[in-house]
Structure 1
Amino acid sequence: MSELRLYLLGIGILILLAIYFFGRKRHADSSHDVFANHQPDESSDPLTPTRRVPSMTNPGLFTGARSAPEEERLEPSLTEWDDPTEETEALPEPVELTDRVSEDELIGDPDLRVGEPLPELAGDTGAGATVPELASETGAGTPEAEPETPPPSETEPENIPEEPLAPIVVMYVVAKPDKPIPGAQALKAFHVHKLRFGPMDIFHRKVGSGSDAKIQFSIASMLKPGTLVPNEMSTRDLQGLSLFLKTDAVENPRQAYDDMLHVAQQLAYTLDAEVKDNTLLELTHEKIAAQRKMLDRLHA
């Protein structure tokens, strides 16, 4: 047993010595290798090991090189399947930019010819930019402006429609407030102005004699029923008298109007009353002139 122990002990000593000398030799060789500090990353893929970039803090490794930061970065390394002698794909050479293109660059644009300048980009307002001409004012795409209608001239008379002539012209002789017209005095004034009692139980002014006499205008009571019976007038008072002229029943409407106006003014004076128009307003000279103008046009 003791021999076996000594034998095993000797083998162990030889193994330790071999490990010691082999370790010193490897340490001496790695001191001259710039990649000696590389330690494989256990977390990485064993088929694609990575190498650590040597620290650049030692200025003796590379002459004139600047010192790099202390931190180390990982870079991919060549695997056993990578061929370091295989040529890598060369980077494309820089192309000089010009304003012209070659035939090889005319792919997809058959209308472009060699030697022609490149088309300008839209919105280019540089020195060489061409500005499209505006369409003509009377072009196809521009609607023609409608001519403005000139305003009517201020000097041109406006065509104001005149009021149609009423077939009957009316005026009133109205009693003053609190002064009614005595019927007896009104009957006497009718005889003075040759007003005769006749149809519709009212008085009329006639032209001519006998059966050929024609009514020029008529006079009635201003209040309904409008009758003026002579036997009743002597016992009653009147609030007013209504004089009316039928323009289509006389030969000369203007002459008949003037005759009626004259009788109305005389009755108003005799009976202490007032002459009013058809709206019971004062019959002014302007209204009289307007009525005469309409009657003249009717007789023309």
Structure 2
Amino acid sequence: MDASTIRLILIVIGAILIVALYLWERHRERQGGYHDDYEDDYLVEDEGADEPYGVRPSRHDPAPDRYEAAEPPPVQEPPAAKPARSKSWLRSRISPEPDVESSPEPGRVERMREPEPMPDEAEDIPEPKTTKPAKAAPAASSAPKAPKRREVSVSDPLLIQLSVSARRYPFKGPEILEVAAGCGLYPGEMDIFHCLDEFEDETRVYFSMANMVKPGRFPFDEMDGFSTPGLVLFAQLEGDPEDMTILDEMVATARKLALSLNGDVLDAARRPLTVKKEEELRQAVTDNELRWKRTRRR
């Protein structure tokens, strides 16, 4: 058989199947419609058709009892009368005309006469109002104290503090002397180390290094048997142009000490010194320089 004849046969068979399916579905719809009409007639004849499936009509009987029992709550009307009394009391307080409300009963007249001393209380109320400005006066007098705070903050230098804490074993005295000399720190006043800068026959202390243990001094004569759990580097900056350089050198010295003595660099709060904390210190130094420039111009 040719391919064309096979195609024709398949097309004819497909058409026959489609027609058969259409007729079958049509037949089913007619039968389904008949059964639906029959079920509708049956449901109309049923007396309980209004009730949902699986619900007995007897359950609806106690419902009215519940609603009847729920009717007593409207007893909440008495509290509504209380605000009415308060309103009448306010009216009597605002407009003391007892003739309108006192006419029905003499008892009410006595009630209306009771609020008469209230104006005396109202006269007493403004008295504390006059005292309030008197209380505000000390606040105004305390306002001039603000400039004093500014003067104190301006005169105080900025304190920068870093720590080098030992990891396992305390720092020994001879090692401290050797590493400190390599970092440019030398024993000086107050029995602590100092980083000095000499310029035009003037010596200035850049920053200092003290013992972490109070009182912070080093026994330079007995350093062979000395040990400490940590060192503290600090500087007092007064807004000079080289303050940022001092901060950089102090941070570099702290890192070198920690690397040589097997320690960790900590900030003023005894937490590890991070890059973010270094940026905060630089910003504080910049703000301090601007603050000192303003004060010097004055």
TM-score range, shorter chain: 0.3 to 0.5
Q: Quick check: which has more Rg, 1 or 2?
A: 1
Please give the TM-score of this superposition, normalised by the length of structure 1. 0.43
User: TM-score scaled to structure 2, two decimals?
Assistant: 0.43
Identify the structure with bigger relative contact order (alpha carbons < 8 Å, sequence gap 6+).
2
Larger helix proportion of the pair: 2
